[in-house]
Amino acid sequence: MADILSALILGLIEGLTEFIPVSSTAHVLLAGHFLGFRSPGNSFAVLIQLGAILAILLVYFQKLLHIAMALPSNARARHFVLSVLFGFLPAAVIGALAHDFIKKVLFETPMLICIVLIVGGVILLAVDKIQFKPRYHDAMDFSWPMAIGIGFFQCLAMVPGTSRSGATIVGALLMGADKRSAAEFSFFLAMPTMVGAFALDLYKTRNELSFDDGLLIGIGFVAAFVTALFVVRSLLDFVSRRGYAPFAWWRIFVGAAGLVGLALVG
């Protein structure tokens, strides 16, 4: 029963944090650490992300369908799809090569996660204060070199605590995107990236997972799906109005609280 409750809590955390620049993986791993929740190869944190992915697919279904139908005749649609694929490539290659190190070393170091949360929060505060002069106001217009550059920024999120969405958003801002288009491109880039991570992790841990693990993952998956729906529907408007400072301060708070918790209880 305790594991089921923990899986529900962790799923809610995943859905609430996946698409905001606070690092969902860090939140799920730290919460799991203090809840005493363990999964084979730390796969739970990766596998429940599929729930968040389905949420964003649902929210953007009409736009994705429109792009798919326009591919044969619309050069802009083809350009955008290739941009997302180019952005996905760095994570696909580096993630596959470094998978075992990421899961067995980085995922197992709570202190590193807390420090990275704090450092990332400070960086996000600094970036949020910069008065950018954006050249791009629509994610569909990002150039291919820009998309690849954002893809390399995304690779920073292989260190838990960095935040995949935070890294891609900061990368896009630095390369000329406005805040709304940066967040939207991060959403689209999340689709192949997280599906790829899910498939790779499922394959790597296929012999370690049991029926009970499947039940817990299912609970986390549903909780992540429901909460991510709420976040995706409201995030772009929030970011356009408030920027990223609230998320930066939250990262610093969670990282500091995690360090205090580790010092007190280990």
- Express each pLDDT in 238-258 by its tens digit: 776 777 888 899 999 999 999
Give the start-to-end residue ranges of the domains of the chain: 2-265
Calculate helix-pair angle for 179-204, 144-155, nearest 10 degrees.
Answer: 50
CB 45, CB 32: distance < 8 Å? yes
> Can you tell me the distance from the alpha carbon of 49 to that of 15, in angstroms, rounded to the nearest whole number?
8
pLDDT digits (tens, 9 = 90+) for 175-201: 999 988 998 899 899 889 988 887 887
Tell me the sheet residues that pair with 136.
177
Could you tell me the mean pLDDT of each successive run of 10 residues in the chain, 266 residues long?
Answer: 83 88 86 80 73 87 92 94 96 88 81 92 89 90 96 92 89 91 90 85 73 79 90 76 85 94 85
SS3 206: coil
Mean pLDDT across the chain = 87
> Can you tell me the distance from the alpha carbon of 121 to that of 155, in angstroms, rounded to the nearest whole number?
18
> Can you tell me the distance from the alpha carbon of 178 to that of 182, in angstroms, rounded to the nearest whole number?
6
Measured in whole angstroms, the distance separating CA 62 from the mean position of its chain's CA atoms is 22
> Can you tell me the distance from the alpha carbon of 78 to that of 115, in angstroms, rounded to the nearest whole number?
40
